[in-house]
């Protein structure tokens, strides 16, 4: 079941589901021409517009290769010459997080988005939009600085004494490693933020400190609280997550965990941090 309707605005990606299963691959018509509908914007403050391109689907093509094809000959279906589409990309293996965008209304990485799944038939259309929760730089490229800023808010690091040779780190059980590894696979792509109703566009960096921090940063706080040395900053992390924009701003929509490409247990992290914040607050109250 394909959903070709772009869902605009908050919460895009949640619930809609690409639903693109393996079945579509088999039905993909070789040599077909597909339509690629791209939301374009020349820069901050400029109005958006739609452009549609007809692209011949190559074997094994994905959204990246389609955008590359368009770049080498940027002509719309109306026959008008335009500019190559601007977008962010890196590894093309779904480990760097760069090429995240909203495809057919659902946020995901474009490198792992196969044309055979999304546009299997002659004339099928695929819709590309920038993420809506971050300021657009140009076309599909958005500025996700706030996402990284929020990692600083929760001190997402282990406070080591320096790079000197001080022997190994703390031992941990395979179970502990598995828990931390799953959390540590977060590639800061921002899918969880795009899908979150509580995380909204905020262009002013001065407001970032009090706006909802997002599932990714809450989960990273948990990751470092789970580490024997990282735990030293647990109190500071929880303080950061207690105030405005902290964990209590989560509306429990649970969209984050549905769209996470790495299947990180984000709602578990939110629940764990929520409990830890409560305990921390009570303990602080008793300490006076």
Partner 1 sequence: MSHRVIVVGGGLAGLAASVRIAEAGVPVDLFSLVPVKRSHSVCAQGGINACNEVARQQGYSEYEHFDETIYGGDYLADQHPVLEMANWAPRIIDLLDRMGVPFNRTSEGYRDLRLFGGSLFKRTHFAGATTGQQLIYALDEQARRYEAEGKITKYEYWEFLGPVFADDAGGGRRCVGVVGQDLRTMQVRAFRGDAVVMATGGNGLVFGKSTNSIICTGAAAARCFKAGVAYGNPEMIQVHPTAIPGADKLRLMSESARGEGGRVWVPRTKNDARRASEIPEAERFYFLEEKYPAYGNIVPRDIATREIFDICVNQGLGVGGGNSVYLDLTHKDPEYLTRKLGGILDIYEKFVGVDPRREPMQIFPAVHYSMGGLHTTFVKGRYNPGEPLSKHVSGSAPPLGSEVGLGMSYGDPGNMVTNVAGLYAFGEVNFAYHGANRLGANALLSCIFDGLFCGLSVVNYMKNGAPSKTPHGQVGASVYESARSAEQSKYEALLGAASRGEADEKTNPYVIHRELGAEMTAACTVVKSEGRLRECLSRIGDFKERMARVRVPDAAGWSNQSLCFARAVGDMLSVAEAVCLGSIERKESRGAHYRTDFPERDDANFMKTTVARWDATGQRVTVEFAPVDGSLVRPTARTYGKKEAGAGQPKPAMSGV
d(CA 208, CA 146): 7
Kindly tell me which of 41 and 250 has the beta carbon lying closer to partner 1: 41
Q: Taking each helix axis as running N to C, give the angle between helix 234-242 and helix 215-225, from 0 to 180 degrees, rounded to the nearest 10.
A: 160
Kindly tell me which of 17 and 74 has the beta carbon lying closer to partner 1: 74
Our CA dihedral for 247, 248, 252, 254, rounded to 10 degrees, sits at -10
Three-state SS string over 9-32 comes to CCCCCCCCCCCCCHHHHHHCCCCC
Q: Please report how close the Cβ of residue 263 comes to partner 1 at its closest, in angstroms.
A: 12
Kindly tell me which of 42 and 253 has the beta carbon lying closer to partner 1: 42
Does residue 188 come out as left (phi exceeding 0), alpha (psi in the -120 to 50 range) or beta?
A: left
Kindly tell me which of 47 and 166 has the beta carbon lying closer to partner 1: 166
Q: Please report how close the Cβ of residue 170 comes to partner 1 at its closest, in angstroms.
A: 8
d(CA 200, CA 212): 8
Kindly tell me which of 86 and 241 has the beta carbon lying closer to partner 1: 86
Distances (CA, A) of 267 to 46, 164, 197, 256: 36, 37, 14, 8
Q: Please report how close the Cβ of residue 146 comes to partner 1 at its closest, in angstroms.
A: 12
Per-residue exposure over 165-193, b if at least 16 CB sit within 10 Å of its own CB, e if not: eeeeeeeeeeeeeebbebbbebbbbbbbb
Kindly tell me which of 167 and 288 has the beta carbon lying closer to partner 1: 167
Q: Please report how close the Cβ of residue 28 comes to partner 1 at its closest, in angstroms.
A: 8
Q: Please report how close the Cβ of residue 31 comes to partner 1 at its closest, in angstroms.
A: 13
Which residues are paired to 141 by β-bridges? 138
Q: Please report how close the Cβ of residue 230 comes to partner 1 at its closest, in angstroms.
A: 6
d(CA 162, CA 175): 28
Q: Please report how close the Cβ of residue 227 comes to partner 1 at its closest, in angstroms.
A: 5
Kindly tell me which of 68 and 76 has the beta carbon lying closer to partner 1: 68
């Amino acid at each position: 079941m394909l959903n070709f309707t772009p869902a605009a605005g908050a919460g895009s990606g949640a619930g809609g589901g690409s639903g693109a299963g393996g079945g579509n691959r088999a039905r993909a018509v070789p040599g077909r021409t597909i339509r690629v509908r791209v939301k374009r914007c020349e820069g901050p403050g400029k109005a958006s517009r739609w452009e549609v391109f007809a692209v011949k689907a190559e074997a094994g093509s994905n959204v990246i290769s389609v955008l590359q094809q368009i770049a080498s000959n940027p002509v719309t279906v109306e026959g008008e010459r335009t500019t190559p589409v601007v977008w962010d990309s890196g590894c093309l293996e779904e480990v760097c997080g760069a090429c995240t965008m909203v495809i057919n209304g659902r946020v995901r990485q474009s490198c792992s988005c196969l044309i055979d799944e999304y546009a299997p038939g002659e004339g099928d259309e695929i819709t590309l939009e920038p993420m809506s929760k971050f300021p657009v730089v140009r076309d599909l490229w958005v500025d996700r600085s706030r996402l990284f800023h929020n990692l600083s808010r929760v001190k997402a690091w282990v406070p080591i004494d320096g790079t000197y040779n001080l022997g190994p780190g703390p031992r941990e059980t395979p179970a502990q490693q598995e828990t931390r590894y799953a959390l540590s696979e977060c590639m800061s792509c921002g899918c969880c933020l795009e899908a979150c109703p509580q995380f909204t566009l905020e262009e002013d960096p001065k407001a970032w400190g009090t706006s909802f921090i997002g599932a990714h940063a809450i989960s990273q706080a948990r990751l470092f609280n789970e580490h024997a040395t990282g735990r030293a900053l647990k109190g500071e992390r929880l303080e950061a997550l207690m105030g405005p924009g902290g964990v209590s701003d989560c509306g429990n929509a649970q969209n984050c965990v549905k769209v996470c490409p790495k299947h990180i247990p984000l709602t578990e992290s939110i629940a764990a941090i929520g409990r830890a914040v409560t305990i921390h607050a009570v303990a602080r109250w008793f300490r006076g």
